[in-house]
Amino acid sequence: MLPKKQASGFQVPKDYFSSLEDNVLTKITLTQFPKKSGFTTPEDYFSTINSKDFIIKNNSKPKVIKLANWKTISIATAVAAMLLVFFGLKNQMNPITIENVETVQLENYIFNTPFDIEELATMLEEDTFLTDNFSSFNVDNLEDYLLENTSIENLISE
Amino acid sequence: MLKDTQLLTELLDDRTKEFAFAKLVSQYKQPLYWHIRNIVKVHDDADDVLQNTFIKIFKNLDSFKGESKLYSWMYRIATNESITFINKKAKRMQITNEEAVNLAINNLEADVYFKGDTIQLKLQKAIATLPDKQQLVFNMKYFQEMKYKEMSAILDTSEGALKASYHIAVKKIEEFLRTN
């Protein structure tokens, strides 16, 4: 008579049976795939891989700090160029016109610059001399002015 | 093969650092290379990324706190360097990352370091249609034959999620191969 049936004591990993179907089907599918990737290497490639090529030695030389390098110079140049453009644009936005010039400066310029009367005449436009501008002139006042403010000598010299 | 802990101790000791690093490079250059190559596809690009990876590993050894295994830390650096490389390449060419990878795959037929046949080329195209993480999972499981436990440490994802991701990836690839 055989002894009463007992469990063998053998055990299986967790989820073994639930994942068995997937595992078997995957293995069957994989038999259709090529075993190798097809990638190759140059002959003796791996013998050329030397650890010495990858070792970075700590440099015992003192670190030389460059006072000027290309980066510093290029930044300085860029800033200088930006300043030039900025001031150039500012001048364009505020051009020097007659309105900007101080009156005193303008007077000084006129008094100190020898003008040619004919040069001045060419600058004046014809319509500046409209006779109507003189229509309000009082002739009596003019005669009085001339009598009081001129001398016969000045009139003769002109 | 040196044990991880013993190697780490030697790497963190200035007296033995360079010698230990040489052993590290010797032990991991091939697995790291293939991990990178499966991402970037082109040998010359993989070579660049591998070198960047080892330089970064050496530079950052002193800051490695040992919260994870040394190999999973290195694989994470390799993965990040590969993705960064693709990002930069795509930006330079003013295309998306996906387009950059597809361009590399389309050029594989003329690539001297691709000896694959039609089905292998098709498989690469199929893999490229997967989401980024699924591509990583498939390549690491199928081509690099990593255990889920190792992948979990590298990708910071549970083994269950990785298994599910792998099964889905295989189904999608099968569908692509069948319909293309």
Q: For residue range B34-64, what is the model confidence (pLDDT) as tens digits?
A: 999 999 999 999 999 999 999 999 999 988 8
Name the least confident of A82-91, B74-83, B102-111: A82-91
Which is more confidently placed, A114 or B29?
Answer: B29
User: For residues A60 and B66, which has the higher predicted lDDT (pLDDT)?
Assistant: B66
Clarify whether residues B8 and B86 are in a common domain: yes
A57 in B contact zone (CB under 8 Å)? no
Whether residue B106 is found in the same domain as residue B120: no
The chain A residue lying nearest B111, using CA atoms, is A39
In Å, how far is A32's CA from the nearest CA of chain B?
A: 8
d(C-alpha B13, C-alpha A47), whole Å: 26
Q: Which of A29-38, A92-101, B82-91 has the lowest mean pLDDT?
A: A92-101
Give A15's pLDDT tier (boundaries 50, 70, 90).
confident
Q: B63 and B15, same structural domain?
A: yes
Same domain, B160 and B71: no
Domain boundary among B84, B110, B136: B110
Q: Contact at 8 Å (CB) between A40 and B120? A: no
Task: Clarify whether residues B96 and B134 are in a common domain.
Answer: no
pLDDT in tens, A40-94: 999 999 999 999 999 977 654 555 666 656 677 777 777 888 888 777 666 665 5
What pLDDT is stored for residue A57 in this prediction? 72
CA distances from B160 to B69, B163, B165, B166, B177 (A): 20, 5, 9, 10, 26
Mean pLDDT value across residues B136-142 = 97
Decide if A31 is inside a domain: no
- Give A39's strand partners: B114
> Do B53 and B33 belong together in one domain?
yes
pLDDT tens digit sequence for A100-158:
656 666 666 665 655 555 555 555 555 554 444 444 545 566 556 555 555 544 544 44
B37 in the same domain as B68 = yes
Q: Give B73→chain A minimum CA distance, Å.
A: 17
Element (H, E) at A131: none
B22 and B71 assigned to the same domain: yes
Percentage above 70 pLDDT, chain B? 98
Range of the domain at B61: 1-110
Three-state secondary structure call for residue B114 = strand
| Number of separate domains in chain B | 2
A39: helix, coil or strand?
strand
* Cβ atoms of residues B85 and B40 within 8 Å: yes
pLDDT of residue B67: 78
pLDDT of residue B157: 96
Q: How far apart are CA B141 and CA B45, in angstroms?
A: 22
Based on the fold, state whether residues B143 and B55 are members of the same structural domain: no
User: Is residue B83 located within the same domain as residue B22?
Assistant: yes
Q: What CATH number is given to the structural domain containing B35? A: 1.10.1740.10
CB contact under 8 A, A15 and B115: no
Look up the domain containing A109 and give its range: 69-114
CA distance to partner chain B, nearest, from residue A30 (Å): 7
Question: Are B64 and B12 in a shared domain?
Answer: yes
- CA nearest B32: which of B74, B81, B86? B74
The average pLDDT across B77-105 equals 95
**Domain check: are B30 and B66 in the same one?**
yes
More confident residue, B99 or A98: B99
Search chain B and give the residue with CA nearest A54. Answer: B55
List phi, psi (to 5°) of B143. -85, -40
pLDDT of residue A7: 82
B82 in contact with A at a CB cutoff of 8 Å? Answer: no
Q: Alpha carbon B40 to chain centroid distance?
A: 8
Cα A22 from Cα A30, distance rounded (Å)? 12
Q: Are A75 and B59 in contact (CB under 8 A)?
A: no
Complete DSSP assignment for B115-152: ---HHHHHHHHHHHTS-HHHHHHHIIIIIS---HHHHH
Distance from C-alpha of B169 to C-alpha of A47, rounded to nearest angstrom: 34
B116 lies within 8 A of chain A by CB: yes
